[in-house]
Copies of this chain bind each other. A is one copy, B any other.
Amino acid sequence: MIEGPYIAEAAALIGDPARANMLSALMDGRALTATELAHVAGVTPQTASGHLAKLKEANMLVVERQGRHRYFRLAGPEIAQAIEAISVVAQQGAPRHRPTGPRDEAMRFARTCYDHLAGQVAVAIVERFVELGYLVEGDDDFDVSDAGILALKDFGVEVESLRGQRRAFARRCLDWSERRAHIGGALGAAFLARCEAQGWLKTKAGSRSVLVTDAGRKGLSKSFGIGLPA
């Protein structure tokens, strides 16, 4: 086999705890400074600098200078996809002890996945939309029915303008905590953006956790009949 070593190189790069933490922190698509990343990784700035240089060298990260700061972000959605795919494997490969702290709970409930919503809330939304006939679950992606197009238009998302972009329209993205699919792609991103604009969801700075506001709970219930656990 010839490609093994190249795969190994990339996987080994992700396979260091400090770097994996950094990449995880960048999964929501935002850019963080080297110092922030050093913090989430739990290493000193000089160690972090080395890691970041390697990730950049491998084209997994891109960097923008801004004054004396250097902002790092994922080089593209393929990187996020690879990390998600590894997450899935890591999840099922672990029947052993796995403590779940409060922070973990929040992440399970609602979080960002690159630029769309993931977690219990995301899965609940998808399930309800399928139930209502708004979404049709395909093999690798979703399709939106005419009823779905109307409902989303009411909500403030223009579905048709999202098609035919370079990125996937409505990717079926496997949720690592729920082991069920949620919506990624252009539609997933647009939906999350609209929820934020409505004040239904708030993304916390420095974390992938997403807060569902009271207005959000009410809105999801009233508009779509989605009830969330307390």
Listed in ascending order, the chain A residues whose CB lies under 8 Å from chain B are 1-17, 19-25, 40-41, 58-60, 78-79, 81-95, 98, 101, 103-104, 107, 138-141, 167-172, 176, 185, 208
* Contact with A93, one of B24, B41, B60, B169 (Cβ below 8 angstroms): B60
A–B complex contacts, Cβ < 8 Å, 30 sampled: A1-B21, A4-B20, A4-B23, A4-B24, A4-B41, A6-B87, A6-B91, A7-B83, A7-B86, A8-B20, A8-B21, A9-B90, A11-B11, A11-B15, A11-B20, A13-B15, A14-B15, A59-B93, A78-B85, A79-B89, A81-B88, A82-B85, A85-B85, A85-B86, A138-B141, A139-B141, A139-B170, A140-B140, A140-B172, A141-B141
Q: Are B15 and A8 closer than 8 Å at their CB atoms?
A: yes
A7-B87, A139-B185 known, 12 other contacts, Cβ within 8 Å? A1-B208, A2-B101, A2-B104, A6-B87, A6-B94, A8-B19, A8-B21, A9-B15, A10-B86, A12-B15, A78-B85, A85-B85
Number of chain copies forming the complex: 2
